[in-house]
Structure 1
């Protein structure tokens, strides 16, 4: 079910809240937005996610709140520059990204699930994961090997 989770960077300078559903299939609330991106957590093998080991959860902009630390964020964009990768400038932790894409219903965030601080390990273990083959720009299919993601 959708609930509010809190998270942040390692040093605590950046803090956020988000309303997301980490429940396994069959126990999930109706999605806030349509599409497979909002139906589970995701792991990707693209050049960036592969290096940062990002475990993402797409979150509509209206379900994300930056509580503190905007002044402590540093930004990185690459490729087309459509995605704003944000990092804490003190500890370097990559807590979330933001972007706006018509295909995904407009403004959204991708929360780094590993940065959520109040999620019990049992909930993380049961969270559904969808794999994306970003290395081949095949976002609708899993790569042939996913164990390392």
Structure 2
């Protein structure tokens, strides 16, 4: 298990395995957050804290729930449809975790793929 948390520890989570790669999206919200996203199937993600301790932000199409800690403000995880084909696949929901929040994990050892979200969305 790989665990992670926000800065204050108010939002904690775990996944079964470390990511093999992460995504750096250039869209406006991801750029401003500075997140590197590790994508998982919903069943692979476990929120270890109460959902009431998670705030969310939905913008534009309201399709994606950008979650964050309401205490320290860290962008933690995102609930999203699968976008691997360029279209929203709601039959295959995913969790994107801000990989910068993983505990005891060498993020520098993982390849980073850049997605041109600034011009795609």
TM range, smaller chain: 0.7 to 0.9
Q: Pick from 3, 8, 16: which aligns with 1:11?
A: 8
Pair member with larger Rg? 1
Distance 1:105 1:118, change over 3 A: farther
Superposed CA RMSD in Å reads 1.8
For the residue of structure 2 that corresponds to 1:16, the secondary structure is strand
Corresponding residue for 2:85?
none
Q: TM-score, normalised by structure 1?
A: 0.71
Whether 1:136 and 2:116 are equivalent positions in the alignment is no
Give 4+ residue runs of structure 1 displaced > 4 Å after superposition. none
What's the secondary structure of 1:82's corresponding residue? coil
* Structure 1 unmatched runs, 5+: 24-39, 139-149
Q: What is the TM-score of this pair, normalised by structure 2?
A: 0.87
Q: Give the superposition deviation at 1:7.
A: 0.4
User: Shift in Å at residue 134 of structure 1?
Assistant: 0.6
Asked whether the 8 Å contact 1:13–1:69 carries over to 2, the reply is: no
Higher relative contact order (CA 8 A, sep 6+): 2
- 2:54 aligned with 1:73: yes
Aligned length: 116
